Amino acid sequence: MKILVCLKQVPDTETKIKVAGDGKSLDPTDVKWITSPYDEYALEEGLRLKESAGAEVTVATVGDDKAKDVLRNAFALGADHAVLIKGDGQGDTLATASILAGFAKDKGFDLVLSGNKGLGGDNSAVGPMLAELLGYAQANVVVKLEITDGKFRAEREIEGGTEVVEGSLPAVVTAQKGLNEPRYASLKGIMAAKKKTIEETEVAGHAPATGTLAMTLPAARAEGRKLEGDAASQAKALMDALKNEAKVF
Amino acid sequence: MILVFCELKDGKLRKPSAEALSEGRRLADASGQQLGALTVGASADGAADAAKYGADSILTCVAPSLASYSSDAFAAAIASAAKAKGATIVLGAATAMGKDALPRAAARLDAGYAGDVTGLSMEGGKLQAQRPVYAGKAFATTGFTSAVQVATTRPNVFAATEKTGPGAMESVEAPAGDFKAIVKEILAKGGGKVDLTEANVIVAGGRGLKSGENFKILEELADALGGVVGASRAAVDAGWGLSHGIQVGQTGKVVSPTLYIAAGISGAIQHLAGMSSSKYIVAINKDPDAPIFKIADYGIVGDLFEVVPELTKAAKAMGIGAHH
Ligand SMILES: Cc1cc2nc3c(=O)[nH]c(=O)nc-3n(C[C@H](O)[C@H](O)[C@H](O)COP(=O)(O)OP(=O)(O)OC[C@H]3O[C@@H](n4cnc5c(N)ncnc54)[C@H](O)[C@@H]3O)c2cc1C
Ligand SMILES: Cc1cc2nc3c(=O)[nH]c(=O)nc-3n(C[C@H](O)[C@H](O)[C@H](O)COP(=O)(O)OP(=O)(O)OC[C@H]3O[C@@H](n4cnc5c(N)ncnc54)[C@H](O)[C@@H]3O)c2cc1C
């Protein structure tokens, strides 16, 4: 089985977002970059299939030289091949999906794994778009995956529960927290990763169909008031305020 | 035409779809366009509800093979209806189904996509979307260059406003052929309660709850207020048997209820990202310096094990939540 795992490099979740001078992009000063958290579950699932079913795992990212860090990290965890597809990693979802599709087509991947959401853009769109462009089945926001005889059974999160999606490979599966517990890189893995070669390529894709026109920070929430007294009077004061002041009820 | 993909459940239009339709009506009025509603399934029971929210026409795509949800079949149905009607804007709710089918339909339509939007407007004949990005730490305005523009609306943000439209029913062609993936069964775990993203009231607990059993006091408060229970990541990861489906935050659900009560939650940046757009925030914490108080409208410094049961008592005494 041949597996492709799509990895996106994103600002660390601790990042305090600052808007750059252009009024529409992230000010990169002091930003630490990480692999998008959901992509870690995708990679872990690929590595488990490598161990249990002898799959071959290729990781790819659309981005610049800096994005090599996520590929290097994936090597340390056990990926077989890593590819930097040079391009604008922040282009748009259709452009990104079409670049990934252009890379993946003709390579015979049975399974493409990605995160269900890339932190930052937060569109949750690249997976399903990629499935459409490749003509693959899809299962999105998956918390459990089984693969047998070229077929998949995936449990995916829906409102108030999960639903079971079944289909045949090839497929795109997007990972949700709960799918597995990602491993940490071993020192040996990190050393070995240094010797592995990151392939670099360029792939033509769809022109972006959207653009970010502006980015703003939410108005700061004012600190409200603290309710005084013992637990019973605090409780009464709160319910009173919610009902008569905030008119929540 | 502005086409809105509408979900039906138990013979009724789902509320997030009614919200998307209402927003579609507003945009159609602003730009002098027709509003079409599209339903897909083995039956169109409940599709007529779309007229209540201003649909000029109601397109029904009905076939026995569409009884269970299939990403590729539903995406194909949406794209083909959009093409047949020459729709330039395609909307749907950012629900589990909407977020699954609409990006796929967008790729089929060569269309740009904006996911989970909280505001829409027409500027110079094109759609513009406001979206929370970086999990709510910032807002972006997305513009489109493609001919067809696709967006999903975040549940609970847009008002579902009744405004009767003609609602002329018309059936459209169903996708043919083998579906690549299909839903086989639904494993419900939520006990029929509404999802966090659709809830008006959320009572969330963190590591301060100390055990899974203790979440019972939050459930009692949530029940009294007509709400549902959420949790911080520390609580979900503590091995207390909580489902990660109730995690709120940057790597969980991003929610915007009318009321969010955080008990025993410190207010880490990743948690705040998921709930700071709530209308009213209440924090209950024994540490007066907990960061959660900085964004709370009402703060209670105290022991949650004393305060939460008192809140339930007070809510019941005042008959609060009775109308929910
Ligand atoms: C502030 C801001 C607002 C944006 N708004 C929009 C918008 O409204 N519409 C739009 O189309 N684009 C938008 N973008 C661009 C978009 O974020 C990027 O194109 C990004 O590469 C994919 O989007 P995502 O993170 O939202 O992807 P998602 O669809 O959420 O990502 C899902 C998964 O796809 C894979 N993936 C995503 N990007 C890459 C990559 N570069 N390389 C490899 N795998 C990848 C990862 O596995 C990821 O987990 C925006 C970007 C920013 C910074
Ligand atoms: C990549 C990444 C993603 C993350 N994503 C998320 C996410 O999506 N959601 C999320 O929530 N976190 C997320 N986190 C974790 C986040 O950084 C915090 O660790 C977490 O939110 C802390 O949870 P907590 O507030 O419940 O616990 P703590 O920070 O331990 O806070 C417990 C609070 O309970 C109070 N308390 C204790 N006992 C009582 C009592 N008897 N009465 C009243 N108060 C009491 C304490 O004063 C304290 O303030 C993420 C972290 C990373 C690195």
Tens of pLDDT, residue by residue over A100-151, are 999 999 999 999 999 999 999 999 999 999 999 999 999 999 999 999 999 9
Same domain for A86 and A169?
yes
- A184 domain residue, yes or no: yes
Same domain for A168 and A87?
yes
Model confidence band, residue B189 (pLDDT cutoffs 50, 70, 90): low
- A209 domain residue, yes or no: no
Q: Which has more pLDDT, B122 or B190?
A: B122
Same domain for A233 and A113?
no
Interface test with B, best of A152, A153, A163, A243 (most B CBs within 10 A): A163
Same domain for A190 and A232?
no
Q: Which of B138, B201, B302 sits opposite A234 (nearest CB)?
A: B302
Same domain for A235 and A150?
no
- A104 domain residue, yes or no: yes
Q: pLDDT tens digits, residue range B27-55? A: 999 999 999 999 999 999 999 999 999 99
Question: B136 in the Ramachandran plot: left (φ > 0), alpha (ψ -120 to 50) or beta?
Answer: left
- A91 domain residue, yes or no: yes
Average pLDDT over residues B199-212: 97
Listed in sequence order, the DSSP H helices in B173-232 are 215-225
Same domain for A122 and A10?
yes
Ligand 2 binding residues, C-beta < 6 A = A 13, 37; B 206-208, 232-235, 247-252, 264-266, 268, 270-271, 274, 284-287, 290, 303-305
Distance A171 CA to ligand 2 centre (A): 36
Task: Tell me the pLDDT of chain B averaged across its residues.
Answer: 95
Same domain for A62 and A131?
yes
pLDDT of residue A215 exceeding 70, the answer is: yes
How many Cα neighbours within 13 Å face the side chain of A6? 32
Q: Do B139 and A226 touch (CB under 8 A)?
A: no
Which of A93, A7, A63 minimizes the C-alpha distance to B111?
A93
Q: What number of other Cβ atoms are within 10 A of residue B92's Cβ?
A: 28
Q: Do B186 and A158 touch (CB under 8 A)?
A: yes
Q: Which pLDDT score, from 0 to 100, does residue B324 have?
A: 44
Q: pLDDT tens digits, residue range A2-51? A: 999 999 999 999 999 999 999 999 999 999 999 999 999 999 999 999 99
Q: Which pLDDT score, from 0 to 100, does residue A161 have?
A: 87
Q: pLDDT tens digits, residue range A52-102? A: 999 999 999 999 999 999 999 999 999 999 999 998 766 899 999 999 999
Q: If you ran DSSP here, which 8-state letter would residue B258 be given? A: S
Same domain for A174 and A143?
yes
Contacts of A143 (CB under 8 A, 6+ apart): A155, A156, A157, A162, A176, A177, A178, A179, B244
In single-letter form, the type of residue at position B259 comes to L
Distance A91 CA to ligand 2 centre (A): 34
Q: Looking at beta carbons, which residues of chain A come within 8 Å of B138?
A: 17, 19, 215-218
Q: Which pLDDT score, from 0 to 100, does residue B192 have?
A: 60
Q: pLDDT tens digits, residue range B109-120? A: 999 999 999 999
Same domain for A89 and A171?
yes
Q: H/E/C letters for each residue in chain A?
A: CEEEEECCEEECCCCCCCECCCCCCECCCCCCEEECHHHHHHHHHHHHHHHHHCCEEEEEEEECHHHHHHHHHHHHHCCCEEEEEECCCCCCHHHHHHHHHHHHCCCCCCEEEEECCCCCCCCCCHHHHHHHHHCCEEEEEEEEEEEECCEEEEEEEECCEEEEEEEECCEEEEECCCCCCCCCCCHHHHHHHHHCCCEEECCCCCCCCEEEEEEECCCCCCCCEECCCCHHHHHHHHHHHHHHHCCCC
Q: Which pLDDT score, from 0 to 100, does residue B41 have?
A: 97
pLDDT of residue B322 exceeding 60, the answer is: no
User: Which atom number of ligand 1 is nearest to the Cα of residue A208?
Assistant: 11
- A237 domain residue, yes or no: yes
- A208 domain residue, yes or no: no
pLDDT of residue B65 exceeding 80, the answer is: yes
Distance B169 CA to ligand 1 centre (A): 37
Same domain for A225 and A195?
no
Instruction: Check: CB of residue B35 under 8 Å from CB of residue B2.
Output: yes
Distance of CA A19 to the CA centre of its chain: 22
Look-up of token digits 């409200």? A224
User: Which atom number of ligand 1 is nearest to the Cα of residue A92?
Assistant: 19
How many domains, chain A? 2
- CA dist A192 and B49 (Å) reads 61
Assign residue A123 the CATH number of its domain: 3.40.50.620
Distance A25 CA to ligand 1 centre (A): 14
pLDDT of residue B323 exceeding 80, the answer is: no
Same domain for A61 and A148?
yes
Q: Which tokens hold the place of B170?
A: 């018309």
pTM, 2 dp: 0.94
- CA dist A229 and B302 (Å) reads 10
Question: Given CB atoms, is B274 within the 8 Å cutoff of chain A?
Answer: no
| Structural domains of chain B sorted by starting position, each given as residue range(s) with its CATH number in brackets | 2-171 (3.40.50.620), 196-323 (3.40.50.1220)
In terms of CA atoms, which chain B residue is nearest residue A219? B138
DSSP E strand stretches across B111-251: 112-117, 119-123, 126-133, 138-144, 149-153, 168-171, 181-188, 201-205, 228-231
Average pLDDT over residues B277-292: 96
Q: Which pLDDT score, from 0 to 100, does residue B190 have?
A: 55
- A15 domain residue, yes or no: yes
Q: Is B33 exposed, middle or buried (0-12, 13-18, 19+ CB in 10 A)?
A: middle
Same domain for A226 and A195?
no
In single-letter form, the type of residue at position B11 comes to G
Model confidence band, residue B216 (pLDDT cutoffs 50, 70, 90): very high
Domain of A94, in residue numbers: 2-201
In terms of CA atoms, which chain A residue is nearest residue B14? A159
- A211 domain residue, yes or no: no
Contacts of A121 (CB under 8 A, 6+ apart): A90, A93, B133
